[in-house]
Structure formats: C-alpha cells, structure tokens
C-alpha cells in the first residue's frame, strides 16, 4: 500500500496524487486504462458493424451513446470523481488501513503458525505452474471478496453508500470508479484479511514465497479479463455471453441488468469478473443476445439529489444517520404503545 506524507507541503502532495491518477490512465494496472478502454470500444465497433442495419443507428458515435451519454452531466460528474477518489484514498483509506494493519494477521503470521504446528515444509522452488496456480487463487480471492462486499452494501444500513454508484442515469467506463470511500475501505479490509490467510497457507505448503505470474506487470488473469471488453459493463452497449457462459463469466449485459431500475432486476449479478458466485449464492440473472429494454437508476428514482461531488461523498452519511434516527424513534413509539 502506497504511503504518502502530507506534512511537508500538502498542496503539492495532493496535486501529485491527482497527477498520478491521470498517469494511471496510461498504465495497465486496473481496469480503467486507455488500453483496456480502447479494446472495449474496439469490440463495440465490431458490434456496431454487425448491428447497424437492424438498429438503424447512423454512426458509431451514436451507437456508443453520443453526446447524450458521454457528455451527460452524470458522466461529467464521473470524470471529476475519478480524480477526487484518488485524494479520498490518500486522505482516508490509506490512514485507516495503516491503523488496522497491525491487528490483522498477515501471510507471515500464518506461515509461522503452521510451521510451529506441523514443522517446516521442503522448499518446492518457484516455477511457472506454481506461479500460475498462486495467481489463480489471488484472482479468485479478490473476486470473492468483491462479491460479498458488493452484496453487503445492498443491505439496508449500507445501501446509501452504494447507492451513489447506482443513481447514475447513464453509464460510462469511469462510472466504475463512482464508489463511495466507505465501500472501497470495506472491500480493501476484507481482501487484506482473506489474501493474508490464502498467501500464508499457500506459501507454507510450498516451503517459501511464490510470486504471481504477470503479464506486463499485471496479474495475468486480471489482464486477460480487462482485455475482454470489461469496460463495456458500464456503457449502454449490450453484449451478452449467453445463458450458459454467464453462469461462469460476468458479461457487460449482466452488469447493465444490475444497474436497471426495474424491480425484477434488483439485487442480481453482484459479481465483478465471475458470475459463479451469483450462481452459487442465488443472485444470478442471465441474459441473451437480444437486448432487454433498460433504464438505469434506483427504486427511489432520486438521481437529482446526486449531482455534485458533495452529494456523492457526504449525502450517504446524512441519509444513513436520518434512517438510524427514524428507526430509533419508531422503536421508542412501539415501546410506548
């Protein structure tokens, strides 16, 4: 986890954070990079060429949403929030992780525990097979943690924080970064705990540390999934993998269903890259190649309340506090009755 001291010159350091976030658009770490966005829109162009006659859409620009989507006020807010989220990470997430970190068991703790319990294991040595297997486990752990964090934030007391992601009436690739800092913190903490247990156990069995196999400095499975039109999930471009494959892989169409404001689509398809968790835990909704008519939003239909950075960051705390007060008042009235 990157450390940052703001003591010397806070403005300079915060500006450096924004600059690094901009530079992040040009590297391969994370889904939101220009390479992956271009690959996704290349797939979109192939879909456009195939559907342009039946859809009646005159240009590729209109097919990907045109001005109505890509320059919508909600999309412009997503572009701004992408940079603000980097500041929030440094100001809030990094310090909290630093405070919690000493109390979390790490891979070395698990290795020491198993060594004391069963003795040292022979060193297997690092090889391609072990690196691929270890990387697969890390990928699955990350995806599993994201599924449960996502699902937890659809619950009553956490919904207001996740709602900021769902109120977007239009979807663009950077909508993926419209995640409240509290949700990102919860996801980071859960992933930290699970990866510590997994890595410590795996490394103990191997008799020493094993590194993940990477492609261009990125974990190979993350790189592969990011190349598979991952950025089309937050667009209006329908791309279904079909019901069979969607029991395993999360398609762009499935995630668009997740953003739908239709009640029969609520609380479906929480997975990030894989749909296997949705299949296992009863939240799967599969699609076909025929697009479903969709509009994006929430049951409350109050997107007008979320048109500023302040509303995305602060409003969830206010609404959750009000909900808690109403709950306390309701209990008090029931007791008096």
Check pLDDT > 80 for residue 243: yes
Residue 337 lies in a domain: no
pLDDT reported for residue 8: 57
pLDDT reported for residue 153: 98
Q: Which of 237-251, 258-272, 321-335 has the lowest mean pLDDT?
A: 321-335
Check pLDDT > 80 for residue 335: no
Which is it for the CA torsion 318, 323, 326, 332, positive or negative?
A: negative
Residue 170 lies in a domain: yes
Tokens of 196: 């510590």
Residue 256 lies in a domain: yes
Residue 1 lies in a domain: no
Check pLDDT > 50 for residue 158: yes
CA distances from 233 to 53, 215, 237 (A): 24, 23, 8
Question: 């109120």: which residue's tokens?
Answer: 167
Check pLDDT > 70 for residue 4: no
Please tell me which of 15-19, 106-110, 124-128 the model is most confident about, judged by mean pLDDT. 106-110
pLDDT reported for residue 6: 54
Instruction: Let me know if 198 is exposed, middle or buried by CB neighbors in 10 A (0-12, 13-18, 19+).
Output: middle
With residue 17 as reference, give the H or E element that holds it: helix 10-23
Question: Within 13 Å and on the Cβ side, how many CA atoms surround 286?
Answer: 13
Q: Where in the sequence is the domain holding 189, given as residue range(s)? A: 10-331
User: What total number of domains does the chain contain?
Assistant: 1
Residue 175 lies in a domain: yes
Residue that wins the pLDDT comparison between 154 and 213 = 154
SS3 222: helix
Residue 252 lies in a domain: yes
pLDDT reported for residue 87: 92
Residue 4 lies in a domain: no
pLDDT reported for residue 15: 84
Residue 272 lies in a domain: yes
**What is the pLDDT confidence band of residue 296, given thresholds at 50, 70 and 90?**
very high
Q: Which of 33-42, 130-139, 213-222, 296-305 has the lowest mean pLDDT?
A: 213-222
């Amino acid at each position: 986890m990157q450390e940052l001291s703001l003591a010397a010159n806070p403005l300079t350091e915060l500006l450096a954070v924004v600059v690094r976030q901009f530079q992040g658009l040009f590297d391969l770490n994370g889904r939101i990079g220009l390479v992956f966005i271009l690959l996704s829109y290349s797939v979109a162009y192939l879909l456009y060429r195939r559907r342009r006659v039946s859809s009646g859409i005159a240009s590729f620009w209109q097919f990907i949403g045109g001005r109505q989507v890509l320059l919508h006020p909600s999309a412009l807010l997503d572009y701004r929030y992408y940079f603000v989220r980097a500041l929030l990470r440094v100001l809030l997430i990094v310090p909290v992780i630093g405070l919690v970190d000493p109390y979390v068991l790490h891979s070395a703790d698990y290795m020491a525990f198993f060594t004391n319990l069963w003795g040292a294991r022979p060193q297997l040595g690092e090889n391609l097979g072990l690196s691929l297997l270890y990387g697969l486990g890390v990928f699955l752990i990350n995806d599993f943690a994201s599924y449960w964090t996502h699902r937890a934030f659809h619950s009553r007391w956490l919904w207001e924080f996740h709602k900021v992601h769902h109120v977007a009436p239009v979807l663009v690739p950077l909508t993926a970064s419209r995640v409240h800092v509290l949700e990102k913190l919860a996801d980071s903490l859960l992933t930290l705990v699970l990866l510590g247990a997994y890595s410590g156990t795996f490394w103990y069995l191997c008799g020493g540390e094993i590194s993940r196999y990477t492609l261009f400095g990125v974990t190979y499975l993350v790189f592969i999934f990011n190349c598979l039109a991952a950025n089309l999930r937050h667009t209006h471009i329908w791309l279904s993998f079909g019901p069979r494959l969607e029991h395993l892989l999360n398609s762009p169409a499935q995630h668009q269903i997740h953003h739908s404001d239709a009640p029969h689509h609520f609380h479906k398809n929480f997975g990030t890259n894989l749909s296997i968790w949705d299949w296992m835990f009863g939240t799967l909704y599969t699609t076909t190649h025929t697009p479903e008519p969709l509009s994006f939003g929430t049951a409350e239909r109050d997107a007008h309340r979320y048109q500023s950075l302040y509303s995305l960051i602060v409003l969830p705390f206010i609404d959750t506090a009000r909900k808690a007060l109403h709950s306390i008042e309701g209990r008090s009235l029931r007791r008096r009755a």
